[in-house]
Amino acid sequence: MLHSTLALSLLLIAVTSNLAMAIKKEKRAPQTLSRGWGDEITWVQTYEEGLYQAKKSNKPLMVIHHLEDCQYCQALKKAFAENEEIQEMAQNNFVMLNLMHETTDKNLSPDGQYVPRIMFVDPSLTVRADITGRYSNRLYTYEPQDIPFLIENMKKALHLIQTEL
């Protein structure tokens, strides 16, 4: 009887500890301003803060419009977060903002309100409508396979600061 009680107790402890480890693994990290776009990047919280920081730091503001339940946004987010060159440029050369809602600045939606949409604002607070993606029906959208094109547009935004401002 003592032997079976001991065996049952050990079995119960093993099952409980395995269950506790499984629950710990499923625990999600707290939501940060990055929302999965890059945890090493410093993100601003609002569009107004982004404009202020862009002007103050003389860096372009990169605005990413997205939604959590959008499969295209999720695919772009994954590609964006995994690309080291984008992460390095975003971390060092841009003021970064990702929005899950529209702003009051209609210049950020010149061809409509859709997601994902990435736009650039230069330090003079001009929305750079001339830095577009590859698609004529949604000028500011990017897909995961467009990451090299997005990198070129990021470099273009940096170059325009040096040549135009």
Q: Domain residue spans in the chain?
A: 47-158
- Cβ atoms of 143 and 76 within 8 Å: the answer is yes
Are 61 and 68 in contact by the 8 Å Cβ rule? The answer is no
Which token pair is 25? 């693994």
pLDDT digits (tens, 9 = 90+) for 54-90: 999 999 999 999 999 999 999 999 999 999 999 999 9
Confidence of residue 13 (pLDDT cuts 50, 70, 90): low
pLDDT at 15: 46
User: Which residues partner with 97 through β-bridges?
Assistant: 63
pLDDT for 103 equals: 79
What integer best gives the mean pLDDT of the chain? 86
The CA distances from residue 133 to 9, 66, 108, 130, 138, in Å, are 63, 15, 14, 10, 8
> Chain centroid to CA 16: how far?
38
Strands (E), 52-155: 61-65, 95-99, 117-121
Cis amide prior to 148 (ω within 30 degrees): no
Both tokens of 3, joined, read 């032997």
* Residue range 47-158 in CATH 3.90.1150.10: no
Residue 7 pLDDT level (bands cut at 50, 70, 90)? low
